[in-house]
């Protein structure tokens, strides 16, 4: 008797919905990245993303500022579809790290900054721009203690302004 109260159309709608949902839930993972195990001392080159700011919404390319450039030239290296869809501008960089090795390395030099480049660096610093760096497909993080609270940010500032100073 209860079956007669529900129209046959409702059964078909439920059946089709179940079939569609079950097919939609079956997915696959297609990764261009594979898990890599690093050895002590193995080199990892950092990649850089756009310069972003919480103060302004306009992103800039990392190399719009006078940073050291890779010896083999600047190359785009989008890692996956998500990064492409988000509009990330992932580029190679000359920054090299060695796993489990604490070292300071001087990799490149730049020519003296022009007056325009100095003004540009000061402006990006005032606008609170962050350099977004990626190591092994993970964002580089910065940690700080402020008033007893641990704070974390992705990236690091383009520069710092001295407190109570007009100079950057």
- Fill in the DSSP letter of residue 60: B
- Over residues 45-61, the mean pLDDT reads 90
- Asked if residues 53 and 130 have their Cβ atoms less than 8 Å apart, the reply is yes
Neighbours of 62 (CB within 10 A): 21
58 three-class SS: coil
- 143: which strand partners? 152
List the structure tokens of 57: 């919404």
For residues 98-106, average pLDDT = 83
Is the residue at 128 inside a domain?
A: yes
**Any domain includes 34:** no
Q: Note the pLDDT of residue 34.
A: 65
5 occurs within a structural domain: no
27 vs 23, 81, 86, CA distance in Å? 8, 16, 21
Using a pLDDT cut of 90, give the percent of the chain over it.
32
Using CB atoms within 10 Å of the CB of residue 54, give its burial: 0 to 12 exposed, 13 to 18 middle, 19+ buried.
Answer: exposed
Q: How confident is the model at residue 71 (pLDDT cuts 50, 70, 90)?
A: confident
Task: Map tokens 């990064």 to a residue.
Answer: 83
- pLDDT at residue 100 greater than cutoff 50: yes
Chain mean position to CA 66: 20
Question: Is the residue at 10 inside a domain?
Answer: no
Contact status, residue 124 vs residue 159, Cβ threshold 8 Å = yes
Q: Is residue 134 part of a domain?
A: yes
Q: Do 127 and 53 touch, CB atoms closer than 8 A?
A: yes
Asked if residue 26 has pLDDT above 80, the reply is: no
pTM above 0.75, yes or no: no
Considering the domain boundaries, does residue 166 fall inside one? no
Tell me whether residue 77 is in a domain.
yes
Our count of domains for the chain comes to 1
Which domain, by its residues, includes 114?
Answer: 43-157
Structure tokens, 134: 């990626």
pLDDT (0 to 100) of residue 28: 47
**Is the residue at 112 inside a domain?**
yes
């Amino acid at each position: 008797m209860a079956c007669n109260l529900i129209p046959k159309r409702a059964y078909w709608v439920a059946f089709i919905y179940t079939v569609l949902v079950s097919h939609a839930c079956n997915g696959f993972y297609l990764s261009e990245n594979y898990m890599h195990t690093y050895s002590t001392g193995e080199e990892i080159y950092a990649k850089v993303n756009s310069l972003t700011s919480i103060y302004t919404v306009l992103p800039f390319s990392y190399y719009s500022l006078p940073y050291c450039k890779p010896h083999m030239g600047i190359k785009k290296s989008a890692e996956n579809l998500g990064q492409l869809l988000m509009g990330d501008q992932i580029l190679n960089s000359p920054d090299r790290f060695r796993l489990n090795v604490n070292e300071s390395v001087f990799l490149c030099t730049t020519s003296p900054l022009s007056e325009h480049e100095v003004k540009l660096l000061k402006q990006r610093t005032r606008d609170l721009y962050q350099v977004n760096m990626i190591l092994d497909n993970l964002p580089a993080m910065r940690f700080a203690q402020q008033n007893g609270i641990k704070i974390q940010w992705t990236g690091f500032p383009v520069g710092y302004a001295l407190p109570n100073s007009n100079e950057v």
